[in-house]
Structure 1
């Protein structure tokens, strides 16, 4: 009587998830300015375009001179200039945004939380020039633009949480590997 308990062939298809995670980390570290360690970074989440009115030019000049300088970490400066070369008129416009703080790990943006109020900002290659609004300025601009930041949070936040795909892929790999190990033990009669 022969014992037909042989180890089933190794399933390696789910290792593509680990390759995906590795490529995601390498690409993020190569193309962005996010640090490879756990870090907290300031950002401005886009809410709406500021409608044109007579004070826009003075406010844009004020933001350029006195606004806070916030470096963009999504792209390295040379990549940002290449990507934004065709939008000079869009970068000259004032935008309404919201202060957020994002956390990154291994160069991947993991999540973000709102940090402050609304701001008007100029979007430049590699950085923002932002001026915080007071309560009256917030109310007036929200009324003019008809936008609320938390009303449509997913499009704004996807930019700051897409790095969660990496831990989800690692979790899926662990689950698939444990399933294969259980099938292997059952086929070999170890269970």
Structure 2
């Protein structure tokens, strides 16, 4: 029910017309006037509740859009570091800062935290950069990760969504199979292949 349809049933000009028509002929019917005024006030209250609900719905939708945009923006600014042994968040951040300095990208990330479930192996470390430009700079210099002093060989990649990650894993397996076929080496260790694919799962 719209505002217009509610007010259409009331002639808002009836009250002044009634007063003007009866002013010089008969005393006004105050009970009728009060009844009309109360009816109009009731409609106003109903429409106020409708408007308040609409405002609340719009606010909720705006909040959801802001959250979605923030999540999308963070994804574009994020990278993932693989194979770094599990340690405290402060130690993770220290390693990331040292790695960025080694890559000649002197900046402090917004945050760095582990993602995925604990399965016994080191979880990937998500690194959120302040702006996308710095994330792009790190991505271009990621070959320098190979020369960074660490207990294990580290791998750095851009953060990918579920669909992107699945496509990357499929492409990785296909390229590995083509290399093995070209070298004449059959895949004899499926468990090793599965562990390689799990490297990029989170």
Q: TM-score over 0.5 for the alignment?
A: no
Higher strand share: 1
Considering only CA atoms, is the larger Rg found in Structure 1 or Structure 2? 2
Higher helix share: 2
- Which of 1 and 2 has higher RCO (CA within 8 Å, sep 6+)? 1
